[in-house]
Structure formats: C-alpha cells, structure tokens
A and B are shown apart, each in its own frame.
Chain A
C-alpha cells in the first residue's frame, strides 16, 4: 500500500510540472471520487490530489477521442505498458498523433503483472515504479492446460465458452485496437442478426481482425459479463505471430504488421 502511495505522489509531481509549465493542455489519468475510480482529464493541478493508479482502464481510447476533438492541444497521459502499446498500435493506423502525447510511464508491480498475466508489464520509458519481469503466455496455467489437449477437445472447449456469449459487444467496445469505422460484427452476412449466442464466427472474426494488433491489455476479458477467457485466444494468436513472422504488436510505430494486405493506394485509416 505504501509503495502505491509513493507512486501516486510521484505521478502527481510529474503531472503537476507538465501542467504548470504548460507543456500539455491536460493530463489523462485515473481519478478517485467517493470510492469510485474512472478515467479523468486533469486540466489543472487542482484535481491532482484525487489521482489514482488502479484499476486498469483502457486509457488509449480516451486519448484518441480527446486528440481528435482538440486537434491543437498536447496531452499528457499516465500509461502502463499496455496503454502505451495500444497507443503505438493506434499511431500505426493514424488514429493518434504521438507528437502530441507526453507519456508518464508507470511500471506495474509484480502483483499487477500476475493479476493480468501480463507479458510486458512496463512501458518503454519508466518514470515511476520498478520494472518487473513479465509472464510468458505459455507459463499461464489456463493456456498450458488448453494447448496440451488435442484439436477436437480444444474446439469443444471454445464452443462451450462461446455458448455463453450474450453478444453485448463489450469485448469490441472496450478494446483499444478494435477501431474500424465499420464493424464486420454488425454485418449480417458475417454474423446473423438476432441470434444469441452468436455463431462462433463472431469471436473468430474478432480474433483474426486484431491478431496483429492485440497488445494483451485484457480489456476484452475484463469487459465480458459472461467471463469468456478471451485473452487465452489472443495470447495464442500473438505467440503464432511471433513464431511465424517475428512480429510483436505495440513495440514501435515504425514497425509494420506482416499481415497488412491492403493495396498500396488504399487508405489504412480505419482498417
């Protein structure tokens, strides 16, 4: 608890300096009020006493909305490793302008890293906290148990999991890299309308669509009211990408996905 308080104080100091020096118009972070914590825009130092670092929210989505609505301003943002990776993926798709973002990098604690079974629980530049090692996806007990089974058993496992889906679209809505202008999941030629649980295609379209973008933040699983273990699916997909193409999403803006199939002339925006 003491460590967390120290870290909050350090982030408050950095954010305060950014605001007072007018390096940024505002800082995106978490704010605690009456026992509830949610995303907040700190426009002045007055709100900083309420700053919080937990729980995890996909803040990249808020940054994207703010940058597009206020096209002249620079923003500070308190990022965990996953937030930063999501913003890097957004930048690859021209959804955010990295030049207008100033990161306050916070490394996750060992507990936080374990809670998320996170592969890389720290941003590129750590301003607050100390780097702890991530967990390999294959060390995850749930993943291990699954991949030890044969293909038929794995299919049965996923069909059972997907049968609980109530098609709330929470996984898509919470996902910081699920940002197409038009969503295939709403097109009835791919996913039949009015059918619950939806066909397995609903989940598989999403899995393949974000295969080269998923940064492993776990927002999809956290948003799922039916507790479908979506991160296992995405983790295994990311492992394949690493194995086959030596590519990992969310590392550098300049790295291009090996799966881009858009023709040279076609716009990448809103893929």
Chain B
C-alpha cells in the first residue's frame, strides 16, 4: 500500500500555492490543496487543480527533439545540449553577446531563474534576460 501525499508548490505560476500531491504506487492522483499553506490557505485556481495532468499525458515530450530540415527528430540530452552550446558560442563569436537573449519562466523556481540570469550575464555577457510573465 504505497500511498503518499507529497507537499509541493504549484509549478504553474509565480504565486506558489501549496499542494499535497497524492500518488499511489508512483501514479499521480488528485492534488489536495494545502489548508495550512500561508499563501493559498487551501485554495487553488484551475491551473493548480490540473497541474499534475501533464505528467502522464500521452502528448508530453519525453526526449529532446532536434529540427533537421522539415522534421523534428528525437535526440539524446547530450546531443541536444552539445548542439545548443556550440550554436550559442558560434553566434556569440560571430555577432557578439547582445545578439542573444534569454527568456526564463514564472513556472521555474527562484533558483532556476537566478541561474539563467547568471548564465546570460556572466557566461554569455548580455543583459538580454527576461521572463514569460512579461510577454
């Protein structure tokens, strides 16, 4: 009988509502809004109530895809990341750091957003960093 309720934060926006995500034998069940969360106090919006649905969705991407001509082809993470890093460095060398821009997400954690900012400014050397909430 492997039933767990794991306390987590809704990943859908920057509000950070509290959810107990329940699972049975590793399969996600319904989310239970955390009544004791200081911010959301047991309430969720439609996004929080359905935040778990993409996990087992048949439409979910499970590997990186690389565009080759007209097609998107499945690739390994190593292959995809190597391509991204080599193209980024190529473009930076050819057109300068400000030819690149980085778009982070309200759905990421503070730490992930900080890391992307650091990467843009310290590694690439551009201030072109923004996030999806301003789109």
Residues of A within 8 A of B (CB): 25-26, 33-41, 43, 55-57, 61-62, 65-66, 69-70, 73, 166-170, 173-174, 222-225
Contacts and interface: CB of A to CB of B under 8 A. Distances in A.
Interface in B1-37: 1, 3-5, 7, 18, 20, 22, 24-25, 29-30, 32-37
B32 A39 contact: yes
A170 B49 contact: yes
B132 interface: no
Contacts of B34: 36, 38
Contact of A41 (B3, B7, B43): B3
B72 interface: no
Given A33-B7, A38-B20, A70-B1, A225 B44 contact: yes
B33 A223 contact: yes
Nearest to A40: B5
A64 to B, nearest CB: 11
A35 B36 contact: yes
B82 to A, nearest CB: 40
Q: Which 10 A-B pairs give the minimum distances between C-beta atoms? A: A225-B43, A38-B20, A55-B35, A41-B3, A168-B46, A168-B45, A37-B36, A36-B36, A69-B24, A38-B5
A144 B8 CA distance: 40
Contacts of B125: none
A55 B33 contact: no
Among A25, A57, A166, residue most surrounded by chain B Cβ atoms (within 10 Å)? A57
B55 to A, nearest CB: 17
A73 B1 contact: yes
B45 to A, nearest CB: 5
B3 A66 contact: yes
B1 A223 contact: no
Contacts of A37: 35-36
B44 A57 contact: no
